[in-house]
Amino acid sequence: MWIRDRACGDVFQVGQDGHGAVGAQRGAVVGVADEADGDVAAGGEFAVQQSGDLAVASGDDDTHGTNLSARGVALPPLARRRAAGWGSMVRVEDVIEQVAGLAAGGAVVVLSGAGLSTESGIPDYRGPSGVARRHTPMTYQTFTGDVAARRRYWARSHLGWRWIARADPNDGHRAVARLQRAGVVTGIITQNVDGLHTAAGSAGVVELHGRLDEVVCLGCGRRTTREDLDGRLRRANPGFDAQAVAINPDGDVDLDDDQVAGFRVVDCGACGGMLKPDVVFFGETVPAPRVARCYAMVRQARLLLVLGSSLTVMSGRRFVSAAARQDVPVVIVNQGATRGDGYARLRVDAPLGRLVPALADRLCPAGADPVVTVAS
């Protein structure tokens, strides 16, 4: 059975429990598209009925607290949906040749998300190894307008940065770099702020949301390294001995208020202005030239390969919808459903550390020239 979310056009398949897709067990569905806001409801109990091509879900969504009763959606016949590739969900062993066939022509643009870095010890928010967001994310307005909030952010990020800085690229990052060196991948867009693509050897990475290892002064625009700031914060807070027990994907950690109360924030060494990590906070927009560059990469691509992103945030999902509008095939590899599944020519549920190296082995085997087919 398939359920289409009319809000965002996604298609979710019911009955693939165990493959990371929307699952079903004895009529209880663990994920149903919510037409009201486009979210995938998770953790609730739902009854699903189907009459012809009409799928109806009812029940309570424990995650969002909403009732999804009587959400009926008319769907085209299953054969036509499968022929269109809507929401296809398959295993690595069954799909590597299909992915390789789509990527063999080269001009592949990679769009990566937090799921690619989980095997480096950095969790995501929504995948199977994800962590629940335990506090409201920092907004640009709060960071610049609230001294206490800014102190709290820097105290928590001071610890979280050390964790991020110790992370090493994993097999998925290295395989992407290998595919780029072989000429298969011609562009990389990442929503991550950890810098692991570059650390793995990839070049020209467009870091959509910035990098945690860089700091910018909001007064004079001077840029410095996070390593330099780390040293200054350590010297300003010699008695700060709080310990991080878990980290969020944005480099934030949880600390009690009494642990941050005495933390001293430092300002720009050149002008005394306010320092901010060079990342895009909520409430900020990605710089227009960066967005334009990404759109240009998608227009020139022969394949958009999404790696480890739930595509929940429009910031990244817009490039998937743009690719679909321009008839650029989209392949999504992610553990769990995504908001872009309805655009995908192929949808693979698999660990990135397995599939991407297998793809690199298939397209650029050791000691051989890259297997790139040039279209006539």
Mean pLDDT of 138-158: 92
Position 369 scores a pLDDT of 45
Q: Is 116 helix (H, G, I), strand (E, B) or coil?
A: helix
pLDDT higher than 70, residue 41: no
Question: What's residue 95's pLDDT?
Answer: 83
> How crowded is residue 337: how many other Cβ atoms within 10 Å of its Cβ?
28
- In angstroms, the CA 313 to CA 114 distance is 12
The Cβ of residue 256 has, within 10 Å, a number of other Cβ atoms equal to 8
- Segment 191-209 shows an average pLDDT of 96
Mean pLDDT of the region 136-140: 82
pLDDT band of 161, cuts 50, 70, 90:
confident
Contacts of residue 294, defined as CB under 8 A and 6 or more positions apart, other chains included, come to 189, 206, 208, 319
Q: Largest alpha-carbon pair distance within the chain?
A: 69
Q: Which helix (H) or strand (E) holds 91?
A: none
Q: Report the C-alpha gap between 114 and 126 in whole angstroms.
A: 9
Which whole number is the average pLDDT over 146-173? Answer: 90
Element (H, E) at 141: helix 140-145
pLDDT tens, residue by residue, 73-92: 333 333 343 344 444 455 56
- With CA atoms as reference, report the closest residue to 206 among 192, 195, 190: 190
Buried b (16+ CB within 10 A) or exposed e, 134-166: eeeebeeebbeeeeebbbbbbbbbbbbbebbee
In angstroms, the first-to-last Cα distance of the chain is: 40
User: What's the DSSP call for residue 239?
Assistant: T
Q: Which residue has the higher pLDDT, 288 or 128?
A: 288
Phi, psi (rounded to 5 degrees) for 279:
-125, 160
As a whole number, the mean pLDDT across the chain is 75
Q: In this structure, are residues 282 and 138 in contact, taking their beta carbons and an 8 Å threshold?
A: yes
User: Above 50 in pLDDT, residue 326?
Assistant: yes
At residue 262, does pLDDT exceed 50?
A: yes
Indicate the SS3 state at residue 207.
strand
Would you place residue 259 in the very low, low, confident or very high pLDDT band (cuts 50, 70, 90)?
confident
Lowest-pLDDT choice from 270-279, 294-303, 341-350: 341-350
CA distances from 30 to 8, 24, 34, 51, 338 (A): 19, 7, 12, 20, 15
Element (H, E) at 192: none
Q: Residue 96 and residue 93: Cα distance in Å, rounded?
A: 6
Q: Give the helix/strand (H/E) hosting 150.
A: helix 147-166
* The amino acid at 81: R
Q: Is the pLDDT of residue 23 over 90?
A: no
Catalogue the active-site residues: 209
**Structure tokens, 298:** 């998608």
Cβ atoms of residues 157 and 213 within 8 Å: no
Report how far residue 228's alpha carbon sits from residue 151's, in angstroms, rounded to the nearest whole number: 18
221-236 tens-digit pLDDT: 999 999 999 999 999 9
Query: Of 8-12, 174-178, 289-293, 316-320, which gets the smallest average pLDDT?
Result: 8-12
